[in-house]
A and B are shown apart, each in its own frame.
Chain A
Amino acid sequence: MAGQKIIFVDTTLRDGSHAVKHSFTREQAAVIAGGLDRCGIQMIELSHGDGLGGSSYTYGFSKVDEFALLKAAGEQLHNARLTVLLLPGIGTIEDLKRAHACGAGAVRVATHVTEGDVSAQHIAAAKEMGMMAVGFLMMVHMAPPERVAEEARKMESYGADYINLADSAGYLLPEDVKARIEAVRGTVKIPVGFHAHNNLGLAMANSLCAVQSGATYIDGTLRGLGAGAGNAQIEVLAGVLQRSGYDTGLDFYGLMDHAQNVVEPLMLRPQVVDNGSLMLGYAGVYSSFLLHVYDAARQYDLEPRDILVELGRRKMVGGQEDMIIDVAYQLKADHTLRACRVID
């Protein structure tokens, strides 16, 4: 374990996009990416929060086209690999080709934890273009470790270079993380990574546990900027892993300064575990639902926690932000029994 090389994947410009309501500008993308590159971060992920093609009514429109952001960020990189996220069903191979032309050298193809087979086409396309391809399983709390491993094995067979497990709801406890990382490691030959959310205040503990269980890729964001209560705070992660004896190869002070000077001023709200975020983690709901839930709660005059609990009960998966309106509408109808204009 000691001296083990850990590869950091910064997703401030992707998961962090949720927290700033997809408002990153070219200048911000360039400055954030350039600083991360100088600090030794090896992979820098940038796309709409819901991946390529995510700009929409459902997930929020991007202020600046993600391809323009990719170009601006890519120009600042000397060592880091510009990385994009792609959710099959939202983004397409055409989007991936454009991202590649804008400088993306890696793609993380993300599917719900039980639906790994929808990634085959996109992983193959990435490999054909000479890109690094990562199999990214979301909402890993929703399947037992054996099933997670089975889906990881499928992604490995499609050509994935490593498997990333995402605790998208920030629901897992450290022992659940350990069981999943170990199950996947015992099944695939490629490396394993982990992506935390801090909804239960466990992002750092879970990330450390993942690395101790054998993960060699780890996700984080500056100041923890991300959906829900945010991700593992990358500058903290650097300090924690350095203290634990891992080889991070990072400029620790540089990352801290970059977080404080560049990212902190951009934040729309403090990245804390507020009540809504806590409910995400407790009920097992996809973290990027949070701000949309707050909007719907205002619109329908409902308690956000009631909406979140119902979303969790319905087992909604990543990408189903549209169902927030459905839940709010049905809850409101239950509350008021008002006559509606359904034509049945």
Chain B
Amino acid sequence: MDKIKVAIIGPGNIGSDLMYKVFRSKHLEMGMMVGIVESEGIRRAASLGVPVSIEGVKALVREKEIRIAFDATSASAHLKVNAPALKEAGIVSIDLTPAAVGPYCVPGVNLERLREESDINMVTCGGQATIPVIYAISRVAGAAYAEIVACISSKSAGPGTRANMDEFTETTSKAIEVVGGADKGKAIIVLNPAEPAVMMTNTIMVRVKNPEVGIEKIIESINEIVTGLKQYVPGYHLRVPPTLEGDRVTTIVQVEGQGDFLPTYSGNLDIINAAAVTAAELIAAGMMGKRGVL
């Protein structure tokens, strides 16, 4: 066995894009796509030879070979239904909803420490795009306050995001503190309907505790983190390089998606999915390593 079987719960846009990323993975293999009703996403997965079910999480816990499941449903579905069922079945949960049953995971910052967890939460798209940079700044200069503005194209904000904007701002703010290392975090999200669709763009502003560290050291730290990030999100780049004015560091990053299933302007969806697959690959490698088959 050289691949670990995974399942995706929720065959919407996010789930479908995840599936294409799993197809490209060296360590992961699609074990099942699960929904709760017949849908285009279920039909698409079936037509690509992926086992499917519309019985929800119940169907996938019966499959003994599935070791990891991505949850791309909703916070309440993860919390009340999927997380408990997966836990009981001993399947690792990679939670893309804002439920945050388990710890926040931002690869490149804290993934190594989370490889034994049974349920990890992928924060938000804006969190994945900005927290690595905030962490890079805070680890060398300290961060008293960090603020981000995430701008995403209206077309890439699905009904889940639209119905619950507060989940984005609150979850991202909290993760800026917990994972990014800022004493206080603030997150803002703006939807822009312009055509052609705007690329996901994030402005990051940090009040550093030790500005005397200097911008060179801060840039060096950010570059190191961004190099790691580009391994799984090749379209990530610094649009406006970091500047230091007084005690404020400002930089603007842009995320161009890989266009697996979703259009390239949906860098927001690409980055959270790419982060989730990266996390799953590390966990899968660990599983295979333990069995001595890697």
Contact = CB atoms under 8 A, between A and B. Distances in A.
Interface of A: 56-58, 88-90, 92-94, 112, 114-115, 117-118, 120-121, 142, 314-320, 322-323, 325-326, 329-330, 340-344
Interface string B256-289: 0000000000000000000000000000000000
- Interface size classification for chain B: 35 or more
Contacts of B198: 314
Contact of A118 (B151, B165, B227): B165
Question: Interface majority SS on B: helix, strand, loop or mixed?
Answer: strand
Given A118-B191, A343-B226, A326 B239 contact: yes
User: Which 3 pairs of residues, A with B, have the shortest CB-CB distance?
Assistant: A322-B203, A315-B194, A88-B165
B47 interface: no
Nearest to A114: B193
B166 A121 contact: yes
Contacts of A322: 149, 151, 203, 252
B162 A92 contact: no
A46 B223 CA distance: 42
A92 B198 CA distance: 25
A186 B250 CA distance: 47
A57 B193 CA distance: 24
B238 A343 contact: yes
A112 B193 contact: yes
Contact of A58 (B165, B193, B201, B203): B203
Given A89-B189, A322-B151, A325-B252, 7 more contacts: A90-B188, A92-B169, A316-B192, A323-B151, A323-B201, A342-B238, A342-B241
B165 A56 contact: no
B189 to A, nearest CB: 4
Interface string B214-241: 0000010001001100000000011111
Contacts of B240: 325-326, 329-330
B248 interface: yes
A253 B210 CA distance: 55
A319 B166 contact: no
Nearest to B238: A342
A255 to B, nearest CB: 35
A317 B169 contact: no
A317 B193 contact: yes
B27 interface: no
Residue picked from A93, A115, A330, most chain B C-beta under 10 Å: A115
Interface centre among B149, B151, B165, B223 (most CB of A within 10 A): B165
A191 to B, nearest CB: 26
A325 B188 contact: no
Contacts of A115: 154, 162, 191, 193
Nearest to A142: B193
Interface in B145-188: 147, 149, 151, 154, 162-166, 168-170, 186, 188
